[in-house]
Structure 1
Amino acid sequence: MQKTHLASLLHALKSLKSPETENHYNVPGIWSGKESGTEQVNPAAYFAQIIETILNSRENPARKPQNPDWRSSAVVYNLFIRTATAFDHDGDGSISTEPLSCGFRETGTLLKAIALLPYIKNLGANTIYLLPLTEIGTTCRKGVLGSPYAVKNPRKLDPLLVEPVLELSAELLLKAFVEAAHLLDMYVVLEFVFRTTAIDSSWITAHPEWFYWIKENECTRNYGPPHFDRETLNRIYEVVDRHERHNLPTPPSEYREQFVAQPVTLCGEEDLQGNAADGTLCRIASAFSDWPPDDQQPAWSDVTYLKMHTHDAFNYIAYNTIRMYDSALDDPATFNTSLWDEIADIIPFYQDEYQIDGAMIDMGHALPTQLKQTIVRKAREKRADFAFWDENFNPSPEILAEGFNAVFGSLPFVIHDIVFIRGLLNHLNKTGVALPFFGTGENHNTPRVCFRYPCQEAGRNHSIFIFTLSAILPTIPFLQSGMELCEWYPINLGLNFTAEDRTLYPPEKLPLFSAFSFDWENSNGLRPLNGYIRKILEIRGSYLDLILSGEAGSITIPYISQQDLFAVMRTAAGRSLLFVGNSNINDTRSGFLEFSMENCSLYDLISETHLPIKEHRLEVSCKPGECMLFELPPEL
């Protein structure tokens, strides 16, 4: 049998005989199935044992064949490896950014991610979604470790993801990770960053024409987003809402004149400076949030936008060149063809090298449609069931037509208030669901569910309500790593944060940019949600065809007498599933629903108890955040 990458990793671990590997090294007990605490292990032996178990699963006759349409039944665990697998292994109270004396790291690594796969599978997830793993730029680096979205080279991996003692490359370890996931009947989806790149991208030297350049002088020292007056802003919103993209309002001339035209010749490779054709000294223009045009997010100082079009009249960064493209840029003659070709070849490279199963496209909503279609086509030519997810908030038919299987969606922004949930579900019941969206109340750019509440128990209650509700909708269940531990600390301050939050959590304190570990040891003082998550996902699996139905009329909201209680009926192919949950996270709430049948008994799949319908009424009482699920008999 040919030696695999996972077998090579196992061999490297078993070859570690030096005394350094015998040092005290703690791992979370929860990784091995315990509820809390730590255990002291020999790291080489510990990881070797897990990998041997995974390798032995290859000969397991009980293994199920791969699902031919796995994309529709995906249950996602979102993993930012550098943070999610970090741990204070030496117990000194901090996460070191340098390797321990034994040669293993405390920040997250691909080896530890492999070791975490059985734990993730046991939760009920079958798909691992990895935030970017690529080499990170160093110019204007955010935090201590830098942002994974400041991609220096999209074909090279972050060397910080290796265990130095093993002397194995990150590339071999990623191949081993994907191999291990496949042996466990799991799928791997990588996030790809195509709209931006590090401000010191390795592409700049060979292709300065792929970037926006601004004059290097006193006037551009405070370069930032263009300013639009209120009248112009209102006009922009009006025409964009009407999908009118012809002659969109442009930024003021003083802003546009900061940018220099191509060709630019690199003149200071170390500082990445250039000379315009007339000799003007220039530098790469950093990025900022382009939409809405008056967005107040801090500047993205470590990244820059790639220049997707070559049109001379649009040689500047603004909403109409980055996302809401002016119709003049629909002309193929304006396409930056060499850049588009390079981008479109990146996913096929990862398919060949790492055998990945899918891609999440960062800022996919800001890529030209023609480029997105080419990206999808090239990947699907290699593998027809390759998954594509779009960072888009609207699950529209247009995104489906581009070849995408799911979008991020708006659920994290509405699920925290039942008034907004009711509005979304009523809309979807009328229109149907064009394509699935992620079933979650959080991701790495939004506040954690538990961040919203000063009382940790209240946050846990709300997590239960949100997870159960989202699991019975036509969504892709999405577990942000740490959610099961009731983590409250934000990963990043991307969306829905306040100015006060940004003061309290600068990049030096945020896990997306600096060393940080979840509370794997004590689950933030609460009982972890692992068992509950597993049970809900098992129930969901029993009703998958019903739950995945996105037909109009398949999501209804029955009347329930208590306003804090929320009910949703899912109906398809003659079957019905009723959800009842208490959105109040502090107090028990009781109420009733009415049915046509006078008397019968319903079985709650979660508590595994029977509740009677008496005189047409089902009386329910739910503790804070508690949920119930009933399969209804046809006569109801």
Structure 2
Amino acid sequence: MQNKLLKLQSILEKKISKGSINYVVPDIWNAWNYDGNELRKMPSGELLVNPYRFYSSVIRQYILPKSNPKTDYSKSLSKIENKKHSKNYLGGDWVRSSVMYSTMIRTSAAWDHDRSFSLDLSNFDEMKETGTFVKMLALLPFLKKMGVDTVYMLPISRFSLKDKKGELGSPYGVASFFELDPSLKETMIGDTMTVEEEFQAFVEACHMLSMRVIIDIIPRTNAVENDLIKLHPDWFYWIKASEFKNYKVPFVEGIESTIAPLPKYMSQVYASEDVLRHIKMFQFDPKHQNETAWNQLIEESPKDFVDEIEKRFGLKIAPAFSDHINDIQPPWTDVTFFRMYMDHPIDNVGYLKNKKTPPYILFDTIKSNLYPGKVPNMELWNTLASIIPYYQNEYGIDGARIDMGHALPTELLKMIIDNAKAVDGDFAFIAEEMNTDNAPKAKANGYNIIIGNGFWMEPRIWEKKLHTFVYGAKEIALPMFACAETHDTARIAGRDGGQVLARMLTTFNMFLPNLVPFINSGQEVYETQPMNTGVDCTDKDKFNLPKEDLFYGKLALFDKYAFHYMAPKRWELADHLDGIKIIRKEWLKQLTNLDYFVPLYMNEFDTPAIGLGYFNPNTKKCLMVFANTNVYGNLSCTASIQILREQVDNRSFKGQLLYSTYEMPREFHQFNPDGSIQLQMGPGEVRIIEI
């Protein structure tokens, strides 16, 4: 296979003569010291560059020197490295040692390049200002500076713009599993490369830098306008178009809000008048109703196919909604559910007076892991189980997160995981599981890691939820994300504690037991406005930016949005992470093995401090990591480390302060006669001490 990154570099270099245009990039996109002769630093701090020379240079000067010309980087990194593992190693467990960066390419690599105070799909120089795979190459040196070794990408498949959310639509409204989002195509390359080739080049670049690539797949839902409707209208749920305006989530009286659809509630659900009203809205698919008219429509294949269905059959795809009973969320108008079974749930069909009721969306029918039918939709299952192998074979991806995988039929989930493992035995899987009680089941299903509840626990420092999360993580059956935010939550820098809290958590997360560091794109520059307000957000979070800001009131998941890469403290977190990544690398074996972990506690009652200890039985060294979770005040306390010392018989009263939020590295001598440590810590300070 031809190296797509080299092809991209060649195309860019041939166009350098066309690059004398008004094109600026934020300075953190230049973490590899680009020195093109046209480079100018603008009064804003942005860099004026020749885009063709700039992007070709990051390939030539930074990425390619770290590669081997004889290596095929289009394969997964595990296949490239071909490492031998111990007998206890579970394929994909490399993710336990990773530092993950979550990116939405469209936003992460977006910038107002022509300084027109608007983010244009095509600016004055016909350059794309939203993100592309090609522009994302310039951020890789910055990610490497922070110690990131895994790029986790939000959905990159082609999505539907029908009933879209925001200005650009949601990438989760997938229209085609096997096509890439055309908006991620770089216009400066023209038609000399396809968007598929540009993604291949990006993956190759990551592998050259020893970085892995994880993608998001969405097998439970699909866009209300998608490619599969033409072939399989019976895979979807339909309602009368005339009643669409009345479509809402049915309310069940006598049940509290947002309750899991457990069997004990089902009799009450099906007795609800509002549920009965809801079920009556559903109709059989258009092909079932009139196959002749359907075949005529297929033959004509009009451009606005879904709209034509509404005109000719009076039917619309039914929108999806939460599978929790009485969830306050409205229907998700841009997506619908797949019919995982071709009949009604076995356990609940008895509640239906008419057994020939058309397929319907309800809390049980969409929770098919709990409520299976007798007739699996095997053709659909085979399609869904082929998605990941397609991306493995075409692009060499290294892992995947399965959106709402726990709600899929157990047999289908096994097919998805087994098919991927057959292609690459070291492929990693992330479970979208927030409930830590379900970690054992996720582990049994073949997942390597769960998302967990860190995004909710970590910000709640005053309630000591961070303490509970950190000290309790060792008891969870699978590793979780050590994360203060995700693309669905409030921004950590936008919460009480602001940048001090964000800095403390982002650095501390690099050293937590049984937890994988996770940085959400924009977190590293203290972004305050969330990408989405789906989880743990308030109404005002959407308006965290100043009113005069171009992106005030916008959500990156749906709107034109560029992160504030020119923020005053844009380099601060990256500089801190750059320093501690060396410590993490040296102690990685101990950090990722609970056998070498000892929780450290303070002698004072109800202290805001948290302490973690690790020991190396070979060197007899001990590593201690402390955090002051009081982000507004200083802290004086004493840490007992006797149990840690005993693990390797370490009696030293001399140590090294390897890292501090507010101090430079130095010798450390603040020991009490009994061997405990005296700590004087500033607001939100993290300290790392080695003895």
Map 1:599-610 to 2 at 5 A: 600-607=653-660, 608-609=665-666, 610=668
**How far is 1:521 from its partner?**
1.9
Could you tell me which amino acid in structure 1 is paired with residue 531 of structure 2?
I
**How far is 1:246 from its partner?**
8.2
Match of 2:441 in 1: 398
Match of 1:323 in 2: 367
Task: Select the residue among 137, 144, 148 that pairs with 1:125.
Answer: 148
Task: Select the residue among 497, 505, 512 that pairs with 2:557.
Answer: 512
Does the 8 Å CA contact 2:110/2:129 hold for their aligned counterparts?
yes
Structure 2 Cα separation of the partners of residues 360 and 245 of structure 1: 30
Task: Select the residue among 233, 237, 240 that pairs with 1:208.
Answer: 233
Please state whether the residue corresponding to 1:217 is helix, strand or coil. helix
Match of 2:531 in 1: 491
Match of 1:618 in 2: 677
**Structure 1: runs of 5+ lacking an equivalent:** none
Match of 2:352 in 1: none
Structure 2 Cα separation of the partners of residues 170 and 359 of structure 1: 20
Structure 1 Cα separation of the partners of residues 544 and 659 of structure 2: 39
The alignment status of 1:463 with 2:502, answered yes or no, reads yes
Structure 1 Cα separation of the partners of residues 327 and 181 of structure 2: 31
Structure 1 Cα separation of the partners of residues 146 and 334 of structure 2: 36
Does the 8 Å CA contact 1:486/1:528 hold for their aligned counterparts?
no
**How far is 1:283 from its partner?**
1.0
Please state whether the residue corresponding to 2:228 is helix, strand or coil. coil
The alignment status of 1:548 with 2:592, answered yes or no, reads yes
**How far is 1:214 from its partner?**
1.2
The alignment status of 1:52 with 2:91, answered yes or no, reads no
Map 1:576-595 to 2 at 5 A: 577-595=623-641
The alignment status of 1:565 with 2:611, answered yes or no, reads no
The alignment status of 1:283 with 2:328, answered yes or no, reads no
Q: 1:499 to 1:583 in 2, by over 3 A?
A: same
Structure 2 Cα separation of the partners of residues 185 and 428 of structure 1: 28
TM-score by length of 2: 0.81
Structure 2 Cα separation of the partners of residues 248 and 8 of structure 1: 62
Match of 2:9 in 1: 10
Q: Would you say how many aligned residue pairs link Structure 1 and Structure 2?
A: 610
Q: Note the alpha carbon deviations across 1:599-627, whole angstroms, 9 max, x for none.
A: 82343321323042123342211111111
Could you tell me which amino acid in structure 1 is paired with residue 334 of structure 2?
D
Q: Note the alpha carbon deviations across 1:561-612, whole angstroms, 9 max, x for none.
A: 2745322334567575432211111222222224559982343321323042
Q: Note the alpha carbon deviations across 1:507-547, whole angstroms, 9 max, x for none.
A: 97111111111111234x56521011122332222222222
Structure 2 Cα separation of the partners of residues 15 and 153 of structure 1: 34
Identity level (%): 31
Task: Select the residue among 181, 184, 195 that pairs with 1:158.
Answer: 181
Moved more, 392-401 or 565-574: 565-574
Could you tell me which amino acid in structure 2 is paired with residue 471 of structure 1?
M
Structure 1 Cα separation of the partners of residues 493 and 421 of structure 2: 39
Match of 2:22 in 1: 24
Please state whether the residue corresponding to 1:477 is helix, strand or coil. strand
Match of 1:342 in 2: 383
Does the 8 Å CA contact 2:185/2:194 hold for their aligned counterparts?
yes
Does the 8 Å CA contact 2:161/2:168 hold for their aligned counterparts?
no
Match of 2:102 in 1: 78
Q: 1:204 to 1:629 in 2, by over 3 A?
A: same
Match of 1:181 in 2: 206
Instruction: Note the aligned Cα RMSD (angstroms).
Output: 3.2
Structure 2 Cα separation of the partners of residues 389 and 355 of structure 1: 17
Structure 2 Cα separation of the partners of residues 444 and 576 of structure 1: 36
Q: Note the alpha carbon deviations across 1:396-418, whole angstroms, 9 max, x for none.
A: 11101111111111111101224
Structure 2 Cα separation of the partners of residues 214 and 507 of structure 1: 37
**How far is 1:289 from its partner?**
2.4
Please state whether the residue corresponding to 1:513 is helix, strand or coil. coil
Task: Select the residue among 44, 47, 52 that pairs with 1:39.
Answer: 47
Q: 1:503 to 1:49 in 2, by over 3 A?
A: closer
**How far is 1:244 from its partner?**
6.7
Structure 1 Cα separation of the partners of residues 169 and 52 of structure 2: 28
**Structure 2: runs of 5+ lacking an equivalent:** 34-40, 84-92, 350-358, 546-550, 646-650
Please state whether the residue corresponding to 1:197 is helix, strand or coil. strand
Does the 8 Å CA contact 2:5/2:202 hold for their aligned counterparts?
yes
Task: Select the residue among 568, 572, 575 that pairs with 1:528.
Answer: 572
Match of 2:516 in 1: 476
Q: Note the alpha carbon deviations across 1:443-482, whole angstroms, 9 max, x for none.
A: 10011101113xxxx4221122212332222211111112
Structure 2 Cα separation of the partners of residues 444 and 95 of structure 1: 20
The alignment status of 1:66 with 2:81, answered yes or no, reads yes
Match of 2:648 in 1: none
Match of 1:256 in 2: 279
TM-score by length of 1: 0.88
**How far is 1:249 from its partner?**
3.9
Does the 8 Å CA contact 2:500/2:683 hold for their aligned counterparts?
yes
Q: 1:249 to 1:165 in 2, by over 3 A?
A: same
Structure 2 Cα separation of the partners of residues 572 and 29 of structure 1: 39
Please state whether the residue corresponding to 2:671 is helix, strand or coil. strand
**How far is 1:365 from its partner?**
2.4
Please state whether the residue corresponding to 2:277 is helix, strand or coil. helix
Please state whether the residue corresponding to 2:670 is helix, strand or coil. strand
Does the 8 Å CA contact 2:340/2:368 hold for their aligned counterparts?
no
Does the 8 Å CA contact 1:248/1:320 hold for their aligned counterparts?
no
Does the 8 Å CA contact 1:140/1:302 hold for their aligned counterparts?
yes
Match of 1:629 in 2: 688
The alignment status of 1:355 with 2:400, answered yes or no, reads no
Structure 1 Cα separation of the partners of residues 30 and 510 of structure 2: 26
Does the 8 Å CA contact 1:546/1:570 hold for their aligned counterparts?
no
Map 1:415-494 to 2 at 5 A: 415-418=458-461, 419-429=464-474, 432-453=475-496, 458-473=497-512, 474-494=514-534
Does the 8 Å CA contact 1:426/1:555 hold for their aligned counterparts?
no
Could you tell me which amino acid in structure 2 is paired with residue 85 of structure 1?
A
Structure 2 Cα separation of the partners of residues 60 and 153 of structure 1: 35
Does the 8 Å CA contact 2:133/2:202 hold for their aligned counterparts?
yes
Could you tell me which amino acid in structure 2 is paired with residue 230 of structure 1?
G
**How far is 1:124 from its partner?**
0.7
Does the 8 Å CA contact 2:542/2:553 hold for their aligned counterparts?
no
Structure 2 Cα separation of the partners of residues 352 and 102 of structure 1: 36
**How far is 1:74 from its partner?**
1.4
Match of 1:111 in 2: 134
Does the 8 Å CA contact 2:103/2:153 hold for their aligned counterparts?
yes
Does the 8 Å CA contact 2:108/2:522 hold for their aligned counterparts?
yes
